[in-house]
């Protein structure tokens, strides 16, 4: 299982790279704003390039900011030219529920990596995978599938329908992809709210968990870990003192 860091903070990303737990990064304008990015779309592009260089060949997802198909294609093509390891984040539909599957297929057919996002059902994920697969088959380089992602918002499913339904959707889509032998498509779990989500959804078979830094910090803690560590150190010191006395 891979972990993608939900951040646009360079120092934060460096930290998790040094820990050995960063397999990729996901961003969006809200995350960029929170991390101090300024300068509008050009500022976001600049930060995206910085992240892409820092983590290459690992992927970084950058989000388009339009619901107009022609503008989505334009923005996606611009992002794809910034670095080879950029995946363009596109929602499964617009705000009215109109399908973006033709855009997704088109981008993949051009060799642009996509991260189809904002999905909360098995059906949405299956349709997104079909669109990606169709694009790969039209791509001249389809024999070496480029990595593409389908992002399912586990937290939002659990808020509306319970954690069991979120677990079921995630597990079933992974099984479905494997059963039908889809290539070049990986499942991302987004919208992770708690360390308990990390533990539960890591067991669904999802390829990737997108985890915010604050949840990583909480996941590192245990109810008695600090106490146990202090006891280990104290015991070790006392033992060393006794060993030295016996010399």
| Residue 148 burial (C-beta neighbours within 10 Å; 0-12, 13-18, 19+) | buried
Helix (H, G, I), strand (E, B) or coil at 24: strand
Sign of the C-alpha dihedral computed for residues 51, 100, 72 and 157 taken in this order: negative
Place of tokens 């146990």: 228
Length of the chain: 247
Indicate which residues carry an active-site annotation.
Answer: 89
Phi, psi (rounded to 5 degrees) for 36: 85, 15
Cβ-contact 48, 82 below 8 angstroms: yes
Place of tokens 């904002």: 118
Pairwise CA distance, residues 216 & 194, whole Å? 9
């Amino acid at each position: 299982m891979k972990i993608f860091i939900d951040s646009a903070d360079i120092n934060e990303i460096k930290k998790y790279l040094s820990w050995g737990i960063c397999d990729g990064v996901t961003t969006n304008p809200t995350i960029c704003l929170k991390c101090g990015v300024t300068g509008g779309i050009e500022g976001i592009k600049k930060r995206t390039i910085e992240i892409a260089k820092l983590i290459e060949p690992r992927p970084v997802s950058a989000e388009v900011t339009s619901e107009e198909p022609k503008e989505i294609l334009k923005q996606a093509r611009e992002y794809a030219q910034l670095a080879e390891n950029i995946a363009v984040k596109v929602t499964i539909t617009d705000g009215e529920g109109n399908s973006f599957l033709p855009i997704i297929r088109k981008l993949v057919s051009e060799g642009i990596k996509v991260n189809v996002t904002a999905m909360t059902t098995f059906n949405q994920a299956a349709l997104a995978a079909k669109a990606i697969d169709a694009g790969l088959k039209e791509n001249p380089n389809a024999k070496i599938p480029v990595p593409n992602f389908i992002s399912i918002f586990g937290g939002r499913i659990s808020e509306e329908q319970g954690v069991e339904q979120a677990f079921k959707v995630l597990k079933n889509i992974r099984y479905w992809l494997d059963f039908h032998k889809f290539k070049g498509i990986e499942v991302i779990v987004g919208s992770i709210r708690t360390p308990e989500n990390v533990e539960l959804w890591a067991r669904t078979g999802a390829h990737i968990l997108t985890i915010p830094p604050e949840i990583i910090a909480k996941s590192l803690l245990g109810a008695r870990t600090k106490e146990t560590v202090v006891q280990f150190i104290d015991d070790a010191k006392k033992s060393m003192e006794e060993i030295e006395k016996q010399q």
